Amino acid sequence: MDVWLRIERPVDAEADIPLQDEASEKVKRKYASEPSGAFIVWSDSSDGTLGCIKNNRSISAPISEVTELVLKEMQPAKGRGFVALSFVSNAGRELAGIYSNTCSANAVHWLSEIQPLIAKALGLGQRKEDLGYDT
């Protein structure tokens, strides 16, 4: 494992990994030694993936395709808005992400806080994308 970074996730973060199971067996075995509820970011050049895992949820993307970590925010208007921290390809395609299905101050704060930590650990560029209002 090239990167194995534990990130503190407050209970009120309101953003989480989608209910997906994309981590390799190697990542899952290593994660089994972590405290329950640990939020881990990893990169593994031996299988060419990077991603995040927390309990039974995990996302992953090919290292070779991910170039930046994008914080996307759509503010509530008629709809509830949303916030996402997405692994994005050079072509602008979202490969995987951490989401909150509402745009809340807690979700924006936590994702804004962890974006530079994850980007630095994985050697990715980072930017913010304001998607306006959820009309």
105: phi then psi, degrees, rounded to nearest 5: -60, -40
The domain that holds 87 is classified in CATH as 2.30.29
Q: pTM of the prediction?
A: 0.94
Start-to-end CA span in the chain (Å): 43
Per-residue pLDDT of the chain (135 residues; tens, 9 = 90+): 999 999 999 989 999 999 999 999 999 999 999 999 999 999 999 999 999 999 999 999 999 999 999 999 999 999 999 999 999 999 999 999 999 999 999 999 999 999 999 999 999 999 999 999 999
For residue 114, what is the enclosing H or E element? helix 105-122
- How many domains would you assign to the chain? 1
- Domain residues for the domain of 14 are 3-134
Closest CA to 71 of 30, 124, 31: 124
Are 134 and 75 in contact, with CB atoms under 8 Å apart? yes
Structure token pair of residue 82 = 């949303």
Residue pointed to by tokens 């209910």: 19
